[in-house]
Amino acid sequence: MDIKFRTHFLASRGITETSLGDTVSTSPSPSPSTSDSVAISFQDASATAGEVSTSRDSDTVSDGKLNTLAAHIPPDKYLHLPDKLGIEYNEASCILKQHGKDYKGAMRECLSIWKNKSRGSFTDLKRIFGSVHLGGIWKQYMK
């Protein structure tokens, strides 16, 4: 599957126009030439099915997996894991208090905060779980 982009520099207006099929977008930064075409080929089988996959998307932990992990993290790990997720002690304590000492709900919120702040990388989260001795939970539920 090939996708072609056509770029035109409109000198009179000082903008670059990029088009894809019927879609047109503009950018204020000029292109060095007056007209260029770029073709991008996708070798991925999902691309032929009409889906585009990037390495970021394929390595992102799903919300379903985060729910599963949150449900199985022991309460005694609650303050250790949020720290490794980049959530300060006071914030983690407030989250737990807001959830009425419901560790599962509080942990799920912490995992959401981490995912929103970071790339939400499966690889990064696996490393974090290992660093707080939760590798067994990871292996059991992240198959």
**Residue 119: CATH number of its domain:** 1.10.533.10
Mean pLDDT across 97-111: 96
Task: Identify whether residues 41 and 72 lie together within a single domain.
Answer: no
Cα 132 from Cα 130, distance rounded (Å): 5
**pLDDT over threshold 80, residue 51:** no
Judge whether residue 91 has pLDDT over 80.
yes
Same domain, 11 and 73: no
pLDDT at 14: 53
- Domain match, 120 and 76 both: yes
Question: Is residue 74 located within the same domain as residue 19?
Answer: no
* 130-133, Cβ contacts within 8 angstroms, sequence gap of 24 or more: 131/84, 132/77, 132/80, 132/81, 132/84, 133/77
Please give the single-letter amino acid code of residue 129: F
Residue 17 lies in domain: 2-53
Three-state DSSP class for 35? strand
Q: What is the pLDDT of residues 117-133, one digit of tens each?
A: 998 999 999 999 999 99
